[in-house]
Structure 1
Amino acid sequence: MQEEILSELQETVAAGEHTDICGDARSDSPGYSAKYTCYSFMDDATKKVIMSDLIQVSEATSSPAMEPVGFRRGLDRLLDSGVGVDVVTTDRAPSIRKIMRESYPELRHQFDPWHVAKGVKKKATALARKKENRDLQPWIKSLGNHFWWSCSSSGGDEKELKHRWTSILYHVCGIHRWEENEQEYRCRHDDLSEDQQRRKKWLEKGCPAWNALKSVVLDKNLLRDLSQLTLFKHTGALEVFHSSMLKYAEKRRHFTYVSMQARLQLSIIDHNHNVGRQHACTRSGQKKYNVIHSRQSNQWVARKLYEPTTQEFRKGLVERVIRRRLDKNVRIGDPAFFIHPPVSIPANIAPTAKPNKTDLVAEHESRFPTEPTGDTDVDV
């Protein structure tokens, strides 16, 4: 399957076109205790996973360091295979940002706006918890929506994106027309009625809540990163794929490297086989939705229901296994047909070699002598 996908992408290069990809990592456990991390790349156009690498923590200096190892390894393999990569979309991980800046300056690096908007709302929520900034709380959701709209409607123009994003500082004050640099601007929404204008909890310019919002909106790091949000690229489909991996490799159970690699490959085949499912409809042609309660927003929302997945690919896998089993040239246990890891993996992930068990037991008993049994004479 991978050979077919790469062959199709190579044909796009011959036709003078390029490929936009997105990348993200998935670890086998939360926090800083992960043993495995898989880094996957997805084609933005087809939403198919085109490259994925499994990294063990012994290949890096720590659990967080596995992500840049997988990113560099997978991207190099894609470029070496002849895929014409133009845009790479990731989250705002500092290690990935540095690799792209130093090692791949010819590629355009974009950030997923959902991750950035999440960080913006998190900062604003923390400031709104303060007593003097409570008036900012009703605007938290609008802040995230406005950031999303600014990225999606800027048309790739960094200057326009920055202007639309910072315009929220006027809107929250009830100001929908203003002048900047002797040029008149206005909000893009429809004119508000008198009742809507009266019911909104507008902020007063210069009040503590407005100043807190200003510190978030005009954050220098955020304004710098707007240049890498102009194309409105996403990694959401890749996040969905990583969630579906739980069916094959749950995070709370340990697997050997070879088993983990096979489970990763199975999840990719499953995803690519079911990619592009359409919106499910009733017999009368009405589109199906599921109404659920969002714990994050504490609201009821409607979500699309898609056509069910199919597992037809499993039939082909079983047929290949049977044909291989009936092949007299293949013997069970033959080292020539054993699947080896693509890299040298140590027997354990400890930084030092495993010592002799007898020596460890003797050392343990010397430090913690056993208590005497039976009656003993005690001087009082």
Structure 2
Amino acid sequence: MAENNLLISASILFTGASHTTLLDWANLLHTPIPKNTQFYKMQEVYIIPTVQQAYRDQHEEIIKRLLEHCASGHTIDLSGDARCDSPSFSSKYCTYSFLDDATKEIVHFELVQVTEASSSVAMELTGFQRGLDYLLERGLKVGVVTTDRSPSVRKFMRENYSSIQHEFDIWHVAKGVKKKLMAISSKKDTKPLEEWIKSITNHLYYSCGSSKGDKEVCVGRWTSLLNHISGIHRWEDGDSEYTCQHPPLTEDQQRRKKWLDKNSPAFLGLQSVVMDKNLQRDLNQMALCKLTGSLEVYHSSMLKYAQKRVHYGYDGMRARTQLAILDHNANVERPQATTKKGELRHRFVYPKQSDHWVAKPIYRKTQQAFRDDLMQRVLDRRHNRHILRTSSSSTASEVAPQHRPSAKT
């Protein structure tokens, strides 16, 4: 085998590219590169097993560090989220990932195929259950698990792991609240509510972030919004007296603010959202102010290796997910980029939802040194005479536990 053929094939997968696209590019330039049969054979025997071994090595290091943390009497906080391989409801794969809230590293993932669950929607619960069971079986002491408001995951946690605190991601809840308020304010008589929407969603974050785990305080501060928005900043509830946490308003500020009348349609529409029983019940699982934004960032970078509109085989999908994890874990907590003068760099964006310009930080470029290690591992595997070069099935059982579908699938 020509060494260049092996390295070209490895670089295609390690960069998240597609062999079909690269082959078209090479044919246009009349440049020979490995054809389909040769590429997929090298991927099966050398490239995918290399990725699996590199992922396993990193995974075991993370588990070892977490076990040492738990041995000192501490617990770990995890965030979990699912990512399907299709933007529609006909997904074939669902990848459920668990992230350590302290280090922002991906601790574990589960790849579920649709034939392993009753439907595409049920794949999320299957991945969550497998992943959490695996981490607990490894000996990790999990204190908090943060997910979105999936009814199936909520029920599973309530019935099987009541000792683990289950929190909801605030961003998903705030997004739903904002959507309801925008629908209410779209009418003519409820239009005054529109300019309060951003402040209301900010108050939801404040209510969760300032409660410090106290569920009653979280719900109380959220419902106090109804008093503030109607111009009442000091009120009584039973034998207790409460005040707004903001500084006292001047007479001019009080006069200029467009408060909502308690009998107006806008206020009544807001009241129906704030006092919603389901929302207040969910606030009990949001008092720790947990977010899964780091998982959303990881899922965005995962598109580089596994596009949603491209179909991959099971082994290929698993290997590309492992590459995305290696890339993510190698670049967590990147510092913000600076100018030559040492000033922090920002970029200005105009999100349609916020309807105003926002300054966002620019981070330093990602480091891709892990790819060099993978390329060297591929060469070492080729030079290893003990490697079975006819099939990679012998290496499938060597990677971190993954529940591969049966042969009939």
TM-score, length-scaled by structure 1: 0.88
Deviation at 1:146, TM superposition (A): 0.6
- Does residue 172 (structure 1) correspond to residue 225 (structure 2)? The answer is no
Please give the alpha-carbon distance, in whole angstroms, between the structure 1 residues aligned to 2:343 and 2:218: 37
- Indicate the SS of the match to 1:240: helix
Preserved CA contact (<8 Å) 1:58 1:346? no
Please give the alpha-carbon distance, in whole angstroms, between the structure 2 residues aligned to 1:28 and 1:196: 51
Please give the alpha-carbon distance, in whole angstroms, between the structure 1 residues aligned to 2:250 and 2:338: 38
Preserved CA contact (<8 Å) 1:258 1:339? no
- Does residue 39 (structure 1) correspond to residue 96 (structure 2)? The answer is yes
Residue of structure 1 equivalent to 2:238: 181
Q: 1:314 to 1:187 in 2, by over 3 A?
A: same
Preserved CA contact (<8 Å) 1:60 1:66? yes
Residue of structure 1 equivalent to 2:286: 229
Please give the alpha-carbon distance, in whole angstroms, between the structure 2 residues aligned to 1:114 and 1:334: 46
Question: What are the residue-to-residue correspondences of 1:110-125 with 2, within 5 Å?
Answer: 110-125=167-182
Q: Which amino acid aligns with 1:120?
A: V
* Partner of residue 157 from structure 1, selected from 210, 214, 217: 214
Residue of structure 1 equivalent to 2:134: 77
Q: Which amino acid aligns with 1:257?
A: Y
Return 68-77 or 12-21, whichever deviates more: 12-21
- Does residue 4 (structure 1) correspond to residue 61 (structure 2)? The answer is yes
Q: 1:90 to 1:336 in 2, by over 3 A?
A: closer
Deviations 1:85-122 (A, max 9, x none): 11000011101000100111111100111111111111
Deviation at 1:9, TM superposition (A): 0.7
Residue of structure 2 equivalent to 1:249: 306
Deviation at 1:338, TM superposition (A): 5.5
Please give the alpha-carbon distance, in whole angstroms, between the structure 1 residues aligned to 2:405 and 2:92: 15
Please give the alpha-carbon distance, in whole angstroms, between the structure 2 residues aligned to 1:63 and 1:248: 22
Residue of structure 2 equivalent to 1:208: 265
* Partner of residue 266 from structure 1, selected from 323, 339, 350: 323
- Indicate the SS of the match to 1:294: coil
- Indicate the SS of the match to 2:88: coil
Residue of structure 1 equivalent to 2:22: none
Q: Which amino acid aligns with 1:111?
A: F
Residue of structure 1 equivalent to 2:374: 317
Please give the alpha-carbon distance, in whole angstroms, between the structure 1 residues aligned to 2:168 and 2:393: 44
Deviation at 1:156, TM superposition (A): 1.4
Return 198-207 or 335-344, whichever deviates more: 335-344
Deviations 1:214-247 (A, max 9, x none): 1100101111121111111111101110111000
Residue of structure 2 equivalent to 1:98: 155
Tell me, which stretches of 5 or more residues in structure 2 are unaligned? 1-57
Q: Which amino acid aligns with 2:220?
A: H
Deviations 1:14-68 (A, max 9, x none): 1111111010000011231111110000001000000101111011111111000
Deviation at 1:335, TM superposition (A): 5.3
Return 141-150 or 339-348, whichever deviates more: 339-348
TM-score, length-scaled by structure 2: 0.82
Residue of structure 2 equivalent to 1:147: 204
* Partner of residue 342 from structure 2, selected from 256, 267, 285: 285
Please give the alpha-carbon distance, in whole angstroms, between the structure 2 residues aligned to 1:336 and 1:58: 21
- Does residue 299 (structure 1) correspond to residue 356 (structure 2)? The answer is yes
Residue of structure 2 equivalent to 1:191: 248
Q: Which amino acid aligns with 1:278?
A: P
Q: Which has the higher contact order (CA 8 A, sep 6+)?
A: 2
Tell me, which stretches of 5 or more residues in structure 1 are unaligned? 349-380
Preserved CA contact (<8 Å) 1:177 1:187? yes
Q: Which amino acid aligns with 1:344?
A: P
Please give the alpha-carbon distance, in whole angstroms, between the structure 2 residues aligned to 1:29 and 1:147: 32
Alignment RMSD (CA, Å): 1.5
Preserved CA contact (<8 Å) 1:58 1:345? no
Matched positions, count? 348
Please give the alpha-carbon distance, in whole angstroms, between the structure 2 residues aligned to 1:346 and 1:138: 57
Please give the alpha-carbon distance, in whole angstroms, between the structure 1 residues aligned to 2:91 and 2:334: 32
Answer with 1 or 2: which has the greater Rg: 1
